[in-house]
Amino acid sequence: MTSRIPIILDGDPGHDDAIAWMLAKANDKLEILACTSVSGNQSIEKTSYNARRVMTLLGIDAPFAMGRERPLFGEPVHAGNIHGDTGLDGPALPEPAFEALPLSAVELMAKTITDSSEPVTIVATGPLTNVGALLILHPELKPKIAQISIMGGGLDHGNWTPAAEFNILVDPEAADVVFKSGLSLTMAGLDVTLKALVFPEDFERIRALGNPIATVVAEWLDFFYGFHRSIGYAGAPVHDAVAVAALVKPEILTIKEYFVQIETSGDFCRGATIADHYGFNGQQPNTHAVVGIDREGFIDLLAEAAAWYGKEQA
């Protein structure tokens, strides 16, 4: 049997982060070495609390550390209009069963990567503050980072401004460091995640599994869809889970290679992910950009993960 991929989960839970972590925990191809929080969907205090509650709910037994209060530059941006005042409104969750370590997120990432006998993959489903800071402070660890799989960006448009997707816009300077790092980078941006729609009938398929985790996942989807329904979506786009799917089920995805740069200034385009579609820059691709998805295969993957928790308790 092939050894599991060692990963660090870095996110700002967030309904779609929580579902991504649910998928990661349930998949036998992955081994979660550590989890870290980042300021994004809500303040760092709220995302850290949510992360520990999600880990407790899912039984993720890994060290956890908090990230910075703010981006590398600029002021924090939050998405309470989508995820609610807590950052993870909806079903009741257990209180955290543990405290955060007395380390920063970057310190825990560096220790985890240093101590691992194999190169580690970072799955970043929030702003790239922690990952960018890690690469700035510990460039010597690059050979021990197998790849970075992110949810962020959009080759054609944004969702927080016309040009910029939320995770990149929150900390474009950190994203710039990551995209210039030379590391293997997979980008699940809006080009694919807006196709990763979970429809109300899919909520019911997951709810019908009947185990406690499946019920919570269905209720997260109920809440998350509330906002998206109000702006005309036919389902809930579970953006962050695509960054995990890219590791465990790449065959359901369409991936293209591009040279992608981050706009860090400008009145209209700060935070934009600019892809060189036609090779104008003469640069080799630096990004595996996910641009398509087998939606039914994605739903099967989520449902199988939710069902796993029932088997674990049986």
Mean pLDDT of the chain: 96
Query: Does residue 1 carry a pLDDT above 50?
Result: no
Residue 225: other Cβ atoms inside 10 A: 21
Q: Find the radius of gyration of the CA atoms of the chain.
A: 18
How sure is the predictor about 220, in pLDDT bands with cuts at 50, 70 and 90?
very high
Strand 30-37 with 145-151, pairing = unpaired
Task: Give the DSSP per-residue string, 177-234.
Answer: HHHTS-S-EEEE-HHHHTT-EE-HHHHHHHHTT-SHHHHHHHHHHHHHHHHHHHTT-S
Tell me the per-residue pLDDT of 81-120, one tens digit each, with 9 for 90 and over. Answer: 889 899 999 999 999 999 999 999 999 999 999 999 999 9
CATH of domain 5-313: 3.90.245.10
Strand 273-275 with 145-151, pairing = unpaired
Strand 5-11 with 120-124, pairing = parallel
Range in 179-183, 226-230, 246-250 with the lowest mean pLDDT:
226-230
Segments making up each domain of the chain, as ranges: 5-313
110 token code pair: 């560096």
78 carries an active-site annotation: no
62-98 residues labelled b (16+ CB within 10 A) or e (exposed): bbbbbbbebbbeeebbbbeebbbebbbebeebeebee
How sure is the predictor about 273, in pLDDT bands with cuts at 50, 70 and 90?
very high
The span from the CA of 87 to the CA of 44, in Å, is 10
Tell me the per-residue pLDDT of 251-270, one tens digit each, with 9 for 90 and over. Answer: 999 999 999 999 999 889 99
pLDDT of residue 107: 98
Which runs of consecutive H residues, i.e. helices, occur in the chain?
A: 15-26, 44-58, 80-83, 105-115, 129-137, 166-170, 172-179, 190-193, 200-207, 212-230, 241-248, 295-313
The span from the CA of 124 to the CA of 106, in Å, is 13
Query: Model-level pTM?
Result: 0.97
How sure is the predictor about 313, in pLDDT bands with cuts at 50, 70 and 90?
low
Q: Give mean pLDDT, residues 15-25.
A: 98
Q: Which of 157, 173, 166 is nearest to 239 (CA)?
A: 166
How sure is the predictor about 2, in pLDDT bands with cuts at 50, 70 and 90?
low
Residues in the chain: 314
Phi-psi sector, 305: left (phi>0), alpha (psi -120 to 50), beta: alpha
Residues 6 or more apart from 213 whose CB is under 8 A from it? 22, 57, 58, 306, 309, 310
CA distances from 225 to 155, 218, 231 (A): 24, 10, 10
Contact 136, 176 (CB under 8 A): no
Q: Which of 232, 247, 217, 3 is nearest to 122 (CA)?
A: 247
228 token code pair: 């998206």
How sure is the predictor about 314, in pLDDT bands with cuts at 50, 70 and 90?
low
The span from the CA of 141 to the CA of 136, in Å, is 10
Tell me the per-residue pLDDT of 57-77, one tens digit each, with 9 for 90 and over. Answer: 999 999 999 999 999 998 999
pLDDT of residue 311: 85
Q: Give mean pLDDT, residues 24-35.
A: 98
Considering the candidates 15, 239, 277, 288, report the single residue annotated as catalytic: 239
